[in-house]
A and B are shown apart, each in its own frame.
Chain A
Amino acid sequence: MASTLAELEEMQRRAQDAIQQNESGEREITYRDALREAITEEMDRDENVFIMGEDIGAYGGSYVVTRGFQEQYGRKRVIDTPIAELGLVGMAVGASMAGLRPIVELMTINFSLLAIDQIVNHAAKIHYMFDGKFTAPVVIRTASGWGQLGATHSQTYEGWFAHIPGLRVVMPATPKDAKGFLKSAIRGNDPVMFIEHSLIYRNRGLVPAGDYTLPLEGAEVRREGTDITIVSWSRGLYLALGAAEELAEQGISAEVIDMRVLRPLDAETVIESVKKTSRCVIVEESWRTMGLGAEIAAAVQEHAFDYLDAPVGRVGSIEVPMPYARNLERLVIPGKDEVVAAVKQALA
């Protein structure tokens, strides 16, 4: 049984403290503000950077990332679009090919499915198909998440996009990554799926002041440990860190890895960790079947088979479309207890 929302938030807060102690940054700001800074700094730096999406203007964006931007930059650079995801992403792809630097906000990842043809059949193919002569440097920001929103509004699809060569797929968990990745994505020459999470916008973390970028590659060890490796990303990272904290009280030392970039996938960091700990549990919010966890587990068994002392454990959602009822929804999404249980099983 997953925890209540309040418990989850508390857990996230404690997990964040754990992260902060490891870092030496200047200011503590929210994930949302880190995104806002990245966008405004890049818009100030480059006239060709602009943002478009549904209700990003007067409404301020569904998750309030773009509030006030239209007043600041005008309608030319902060563009409210019709509800036409396929159309607006396609327009951004074309604009990006012709020299602009569009940032598209797709309200939630559920609606990215309407745009999937432009993302997969167009943006991801342009550079390769045309022999490297053209690029489509479009940045598509969207949010994963859930919370009694029903079957079509509670989906977790980073794995679908991570399947596609030609796309870069990032899903930052911390404010520092969010800002650094977004700035790199805007400046870079590849199409980027930049996936946020509705339940971590208010998370706080240390973020360097001013300009910095982070390369769109590489997993990160968020907590060192010796007994087991727990792998996750985005909100799942907080679940993993919460579990690691609880396990530590029981004398179990868990290493926690944040994948951060899902394509290209840095399996190497996971493999190195497993060589040290000999055990691994992967935590994801999406369905396990055909998911990212399966890919990571396969990479571990391919490259660290001799080091494994237990099968790779996987924690994911129950394989149903999301029910609305609060009690059922809580059963679907994995919670800290499931992570702890999976770790215990791997150690048994």
Chain B
Amino acid sequence: MASKTEPAVRAGETALGSMSKDELLGLYREMVLIRRFEERSAEQYAFGKIGGFLHLYIGEEATGVGAISVLKQQDHLVTHYRDHGYALAIGADPNAIMAELFGRSTGTTGGRGGSMHMIHPQRNFWGGYAIVSGHILIGAGIGMALKYQEIDGVSLVIFGDGATNGGAFFEALNMASLWKLPVIFLCENNEYAMGTAIEYHSAVPKMSTKAEGLGIKSEIVDGQDVLAMREATQRARDYCTAGNGPYFLEAMTYRFRGHSMADPETYREKDEIEEKRATDPIPAYREQLLHAGKAEQADFDKIDEEIEIIVEEAVQFADKSPWPDPSTLEDFVYADEY
């Protein structure tokens, strides 16, 4: 069994109190959008419309949505390959994301990148990356550019617990700490690196311990609580932009589906998954808002209906989009032409 860590910080009453109804419902909307979008993606994968790898984010929506909701226009985002959720959360067009999954010319990278390499340049989302832990250095490097150019922003880097074992992780954290770079390292601890549970892949059960050893301020957050994620990320952002150096967030979360569509799921018990499903961040947040009198059931119903339409449209759009033009195959190998 994977070790369980009690979250140190609980849902922020602050966020609940200070956010408007629209803002609060916006977080709900994004989580539901990701959930429905990914369910439809899984279905389209089964139909053979989507190929290669497909890593679903189902169950982990609150971590990305909460954290990304804090980002300002001058902030930056770099993530790993479980990235359709992040792309949606940062405002990329659902149609373009689905088209990318279909490998069509209307996708976020015109069908070139595929599921693991979503981008949204308008909001400085520099892409999902598929080599585990390599992008953590890229995120730290963006932090370096921010500090160099004296920009009042942060670089948010998202990765999994498994990625904290790679050399790139330690190298990035050490330099970010040494040079006091404005980087938020967000580790989504979903207790597994593919099929390998934490107790078999990490010498310490808390990933944040590794950051602390390198002098980086860290915090463990309940990743199933979107408001707690938002508050913690806000704290991290304030800390970084005040010139204190990097901040490490460890979000305790869980993925409800397999690692990818190819996952045989032989490594964890059904009971464990069932138990974890009780932590589903979407109904929990709905209850929270209802209980606090911040929203009514009708508000949720309306959003749910809208999302159904958006997702349906994305599938239709992707399906009727053209394939990339073969004559473009050799474009972009180099940036310069002489």
Q: Does A98 contact B (CB under 8 A)?
A: no
Identify B329's interface contact among A82, A152, A323, CB under 8 A. A323
The answer to whether B333 touches A324, judged by C-beta atoms less than 8 angstroms apart, is no
* Cα–Cα distance between A84 and B103 once the two chains are bound (Å): 31
Q: Does A40 contact B (CB under 8 A)?
A: no
The answer to whether A82 touches B111, judged by C-beta atoms less than 8 angstroms apart, is no
Taking CB atoms, residues of chain B closer than 8 Å to A331 are 326, 329
**Which residue of chain B is the closest to A79 with respect to CB atoms?**
B200
* Cα–Cα distance between A151 and B329 once the two chains are bound (Å): 13
From A114, A153, A326, name the one whose CB has the most chain B CB atoms within 10 angstroms. A326
The answer to whether B165 touches A83, judged by C-beta atoms less than 8 angstroms apart, is yes
Identify B130's interface contact among A59, A85, A150, CB under 8 A. A150
Taking CB atoms, residues of chain B closer than 8 Å to A149 are 52-53, 114
The answer to whether B324 touches A325, judged by C-beta atoms less than 8 angstroms apart, is yes
Q: Which of B191-199, B219-227, B280-288 contacts A (4 or more CB under 8 A)?
A: B191-199
Taking CB atoms, residues of chain B closer than 8 Å to A82 are 162, 165-166, 193, 196, 201-202
* Chain B 251-278 per-residue mask, 1 if CB under 8 angstroms from chain A, else 0: 0000000000001101100000000000
The answer to whether A325 touches B323, judged by C-beta atoms less than 8 angstroms apart, is yes
Q: Which of A235-243, A249-257, A313-321 contacts B (4 or more CB under 8 A)?
A: A313-321
Q: Does B167 contact A (CB under 8 A)?
A: yes
* Cα–Cα distance between A320 and B326 once the two chains are bound (Å): 13
The answer to whether A328 touches B52, judged by C-beta atoms less than 8 angstroms apart, is no
Q: Does B206 contact A (CB under 8 A)?
A: no
The answer to whether A324 touches B114, judged by C-beta atoms less than 8 angstroms apart, is yes
Taking CB atoms, residues of chain A closer than 8 Å to B104 are 325
The answer to whether A325 touches B103, judged by C-beta atoms less than 8 angstroms apart, is yes
Q: Which of A50-58, A178-186, A188-196, A299-307 contacts B (4 or more CB under 8 A)?
A: A50-58
* Cα–Cα distance between A326 and B115 once the two chains are bound (Å): 13
From B129, B267, B329, name the one whose CB has the most chain A CB atoms within 10 angstroms. B329
Q: Does B173 contact A (CB under 8 A)?
A: no
* Cα–Cα distance between A229 and B133 once the two chains are bound (Å): 44
Q: Does B51 contact A (CB under 8 A)?
A: yes
The answer to whether B196 touches A84, judged by C-beta atoms less than 8 angstroms apart, is no
Which range contains the number of B residues in contact with the other chain?
35 or more
* Chain A 29-64 per-residue mask, 1 if CB under 8 angstroms from chain B, else 0: 000000000000000000000000011011110000
Smallest CB–CB gap between A338 and chain B, Å? 15
The answer to whether B133 touches A150, judged by C-beta atoms less than 8 angstroms apart, is no
**Which residue of chain A is the closest to B201 with respect to CB atoms?**
A82
Q: Does A327 contact B (CB under 8 A)?
A: yes
The answer to whether B52 touches A320, judged by C-beta atoms less than 8 angstroms apart, is no
* Cα–Cα distance between A35 and B55 once the two chains are bound (Å): 28
Taking CB atoms, residues of chain A closer than 8 Å to B267 are 57-59
Smallest CB–CB gap between B300 and chain A, Å? 35
Q: Does B230 contact A (CB under 8 A)?
A: no
Taking CB atoms, residues of chain B closer than 8 Å to A321 are 333
* Cα–Cα distance between A54 and B202 once the two chains are bound (Å): 13
Q: Does A111 contact B (CB under 8 A)?
A: yes
Q: Does A3 contact B (CB under 8 A)?
A: no
| 25 pairs from A and B in contact (CB 8 Å cutoff) | A54-B193, A55-B193, A55-B195, A57-B195, A57-B196, A59-B196, A60-B264, A60-B266, A80-B196, A82-B165, A83-B163, A86-B167, A87-B165, A111-B131, A148-B103, A149-B52, A151-B113, A152-B130, A153-B130, A318-B330, A320-B330, A323-B112, A324-B111, A324-B112, A328-B329
B interface with A by C-beta (< 8 Å) = 51-53, 100, 103-105, 110-117, 129-134, 162-163, 165-167, 193-196, 200-202, 263-264, 266-267, 323-324, 326, 329-330, 333
